Amino acid sequence: MSRKFLAVPALLMILYLGIGVVFHIKWQSAQAACREMRRAQGGFVKPEVFGGALGLFFDMTNWPIYAWANVLHDGTPFSTPCTHSRNVVPSVEIVPVETLTSSEGKTAAARPSGAAFP
C-alpha cells in the first residue's frame, strides 16, 4: 500500500524534472542562436552567468516560473534578448525638470540644503 502511495509523487517529480530538462535544452538553444545572431551583427553579447550544472538545476526546478514570466513579458516561453520588443513605450511620462514645480514655485528636483553631492 505504501509503495503505491509513494509511486505517484515520485512519478510526478520525475515528470516535473523531465520537463525542466527539456525546457533547459530548448531555452539554451534559443539563447545560443540569439548570441550568435547578435555577435554576427556586431552587437553586445551578455556573458552566460548561470551556466553548466547550476543553470541546469535552476531551469529544472524553476521552469514554470521562467516560462510564465517569459510568456507574460515577451509572448514566448523561451525569451531571449532577441525576442524583447524594440518598441517598448515607457510607463512613465518623461517631463523636463523645469516644468516640475512645487506649490511654492521651487523646482521639485532641487536638492535639500546640506546635500553631500554637487
Burial bucket for residue 74 (CB in 10 Å: 0-12, 13-18, 19+): middle
Nearest residue to 47 via CA among 76, 77, 81: 81
Q: pTM of the full predicted structure? A: 0.64
Give the separation between CA 27 and CA 35, rounded to whole angstroms. 12
User: Does 45 fall in a domain?
Assistant: yes
Count the domains in the chain. 1
pLDDT digits (tens, 9 = 90+) for 75-93: 889 888 888 755 454 455 5
User: Does 104 fall in a domain?
Assistant: no
User: Does 69 fall in a domain?
Assistant: yes
User: Does 118 fall in a domain?
Assistant: no
More confident site: 81 or 96 = 81
Residue 26 pLDDT: 94
pLDDT digits (tens, 9 = 90+) for 38-72: 899 888 888 888 888 999 999 999 999 999 998 99
User: Does 14 fall in a domain?
Assistant: yes
User: Does 11 fall in a domain?
Assistant: yes
Residues 6+ apart with CB under 8 A from 88: none
Give the separation between CA 45 and CA 94, rounded to whole angstroms. 29
Full domain range(s) for residue 47: 7-84
Give the separation between CA 20 and CA 86, rounded to whole angstroms. 29
In this model, does residue 111 exceed pLDDT 80? Answer: no
Residues in the chain: 118
User: Does 98 fall in a domain?
Assistant: no
Residue 105 pLDDT: 54
